[in-house]
Amino acid sequence: MAKNRYDDLFDDADAAFNGQYKDALNNLYGLSKDEIDSIVPGTAGLQTYAILIKVVEQASKQNLTQTQLVKNIKDLGDLAIKIAKKIPEFAALL
């Protein structure tokens, strides 16, 4: 079967969702807009949330250690830390 232009995207998504942080990703995706707004109101919260998801997806695909992932989250700043603390897998680490 020939590869189409989306196959690499699907492979990347599979790698992220089957990786070490799949539960954390599922919990991140489960946060509603209202929940994010209650943590960090305004568009800055949604932007930070989107970036946080990308960071966790990348960590999952690359099998980063928890220490590396926590450092990457902290590097995003206080807004990302506030959002990440709502995820049980990260709450105790941050």
Would you kindly state where each structural domain of the chain is located, as residue ranges?
A: 23-91
Q: At what angle do helices 7-17 and 43-62 cross, to 10 degrees?
A: 90
1-46 tens-digit pLDDT: 566 666 665 556 555 445 688 889 899 999 999 999 999 888 899 9
CA distance 60 to 54: 10
pTM of the model: 0.79
CA distance 55 to 60: 9
pLDDT band, residue 79 (cuts 50/70/90):
very high
